[in-house]
Chain A
Amino acid sequence: MSVLTRTVLINRLRNPEDDFAIVPLLEETQIDYGAVNLRLGLEFILPRKTRYPFFCPKNIDEHEIRKFQKRDSLRFGETIVIHPQQLLLASTFEFLSMPSDLCGFVLTRSRYARIGLVIAAATYVHPNWRGCLTLELANYGEVPIELTCGSQIGQLALLEAKHVERSDEYRPMPVGPQFSCMCHDEEWKKLERFKSRIQRRDEFRKDLER
């Protein structure tokens, strides 16, 4: 597994037959040595002031989650402020098309990281993935940070992978940030069964004690 160099990246991006694409590339200088700089997109998912007490992932579907978060959008060049300890969801301005022989990692550019910004918690980009990456922006510093739509905020390091087969599941190709969809996880049901089994056992124990 090795990181792709600038020359290899440029050659592959220029090849119209290659499934690898990062579009639009506003400047070719975005292709750095061993990584491609990514810009901040125009759509955001912002936290909402809510009367609901807590966020329960297994019970919240993509409609219910709007009680806690809302979508908003800005124009290219406009700014948004992220406050300390705040989480915003954004997306990359660039659309990525990953071929089956490449995977990637999204990283915060060091100049932003040094003022307390982290742009991605889920950093791995799968082979065969297509769309604009959702970024989880968090300010771990102590002062608010102004972010500009279209600024080069992150980096995508690309690594060679063995040819990975495409999954058979529906592939949505998002063009903006995506809400969490944890409720679709099949394992919640299994975990629920574990929980109810423990509860029943506890009740049985209490009955015996009585």
Chain B
Amino acid sequence: MERILSEEIKDIVLDKILQFEQLVTEFESDMPRHGPVSLLLTVKTVLKVLRMYYERKLKDLAAIKEDNRRKEKLYVNSRIVLVSIFIMHEKLLPFLNPGQLTSIPIEILGASQSLAGKFEDMKELELSFSPNYDYQFSLKAFYGVVDNLIDSLKSDVPESFFRKIKKKASNQGVCNSFAFVGYPWIERRSLLLPSLMVHEIGHLKESRENLRREFLPERLDQQRVENLVKTIANTELLSKDSGSGSRVKERQLTLSLVYPEDKIRQKVVETCLAITENWVKEFVVDLLALHLLGPGYFFSFLELVYIVGMDSEGSDTHPSFTWRLKVMMDELEDMGYLLSDFKDGKIRDLLKSWRKRLLNRNVIPNKKFREIAYYSLLKSLPEMHKGIRDRSRTYSYNPHRYYEKVLPIVRVIKRGILPVQRWDRSRKKFDTFEELDIINAGWYVYNLEMSSFYKLVSAKDKKDQQNARQTLFNLILKAIDSAQTTKRWARKERIP
């Protein structure tokens, strides 16, 4: 019986491995155009290890003649391989579909790695992209995919073995270096893409370092929680009209009769904590991205708000755009962008006008759960600002850098030249611009110098102006890519 079982498994596993290998080979021919080569290498390595592991186990199984316990253990191990293969197939298939990945802008592939490298300890990160047809930016970490994969093995393997592989997987650095970024297809050639990608990379940093735990408020707003619990507990289950003439005429039928108040309180606290945690995560990532990219991130966020609309309610996963903008504005103020000693008056005035516009905007959500999350979080925000400022000190985009680096690039763009390099008289060599400075310069021109850019390209009517905006975005994307290639060329690095 055991022999038959193992033979069956052998056939299925080998069949699946072959099928998977074929898929990878097909993908390999298109791979250079579609994503990081190392993703393919990982998939291939995992397959190779699984194949070797499985073949060795089969050999061992054949060698054992009498020890049934060992046989059983090996049988379980081979089942793990089988299940892993099935799950890998299911989980990775969407990412190995070349058709889905064809519209990745070539400039973004290089930029992603470079932008990730700007954060500390994120140099080895590689991103793969898949366009969404709805308007959504998202991030899926590869280790998340692997983690889910291992979790789904839980019912199939003994507890001790499960814990062992879980620990092993968490120690594997290889999984940490991949992530899949989803972006709206419509923004594939927009300046929004590299700017908001910084936010998605920030998510990976936040999740790796578990920053949300550090900045979660110590406790929820107790008074509001109690009020909400009471309101829910006293919710009438039947309306007054339907209750007339029934047996519960004198005693009102409320939720507290069905659910004890403690249970309601527990549910309320759980929900509010989940919302608060999600919101903390978003704020932390926003602040990290703001420190990395400077005002460029704020402007890209404003552009996003123009597209999707300003709201004060938010959702359970994201705080409202208005509140996020306000928090970012506070941080920009702390960074010194609104101070009178920041030399660039134009950008300072623009930020000040936005601060004024945001000042009277309501940010308190209407829904009670979100309201509790809002008030609970309000108290811990200053600590969060301080904590992120301390953490990002080494790479924070300060006003001095903005003035020194961004404005020369703006001048180059205004003359209609691709902002990649300029002759440095003192060093007697061509100096290549930094990607972050180029993105900031792009947003500067987009917000403040568009009229001169229209003049430069002779854009008279609305259609021409629309094309001119696209031209600006194309210039910036090309500049980011070219700057990166130039730097790699100068370092004599292997160019992937």
Contact = CB atoms under 8 A, between A and B. Distances in A.
Contacts of A171: 456-458
B33 interface: yes
Interface stretch (A18-26, A81-89, A153-161): A18-26
A34 to B, nearest CB: 21
Interface of A: prevailing SS = loop
A46 interface: no
Contacts of A167: 458
A170 B460 contact: yes
A27 B459 CA distance: 35
A13 B423 contact: yes
Nearest to B496: A75
A8 interface: no
B457 A170 contact: yes
Interface in B347-365: none
Contact of A76 (B422, B483, B495): B495
Interface string B453-492: 0001111100010011001001101100111011001100
Contacts of A203: none
Contacts of A115: none
Interface stretch (B208-216, B373-381, B412-420): B412-420
B32 A78 contact: yes
Interface string B1-13: 0000000000000
A64 interface: no
A95 B478 contact: yes
A35 interface: no
Contact of B416 (A27, A76, A173): A173
A72 B422 CA distance: 30
B106 interface: yes
A24 B423 contact: no
B478 A16 contact: no
Contacts of B490: 26
B109 interface: yes
A168 interface: yes
Interface residues on A, range: 35 or more
A139 to B, nearest CB: 22
A9 to B, nearest CB: 13
A170 B458 contact: yes
A199 to B, nearest CB: 35
B421 interface: yes
Interface in A43-75: 43, 72-75
A23 B420 contact: yes
A13 B422 CA distance: 9
A191 B109 CA distance: 47
Nearest to B483: A24
B432 interface: yes
Contacts of A169: 458
B430 interface: yes
- List the 10 shortest-distance A-B pairs measured between CB atoms, nearest first: A95-B418, A175-B478, A14-B423, A73-B106, A24-B486, A24-B420, A23-B420, A21-B417, A26-B489, A175-B474
26 contacts: A13-B423, A15-B423, A16-B423, A21-B417, A24-B483, A24-B486, A26-B485, A26-B486, A28-B430, A42-B106, A42-B481, A43-B106, A74-B32, A75-B495, A77-B495, A97-B415, A130-B416, A132-B478, A166-B458, A167-B458, A170-B468, A171-B457, A173-B471, A175-B418, A175-B475, A175-B477
Given A25-B430, A28-B430, A172-B467, 20 more contacts: A14-B423, A16-B422, A23-B417, A24-B432, A25-B421, A42-B481, A73-B105, A75-B33, A75-B496, A76-B495, A77-B496, A95-B482, A97-B415, A97-B416, A97-B418, A170-B459, A171-B456, A173-B471, A174-B474, A175-B418
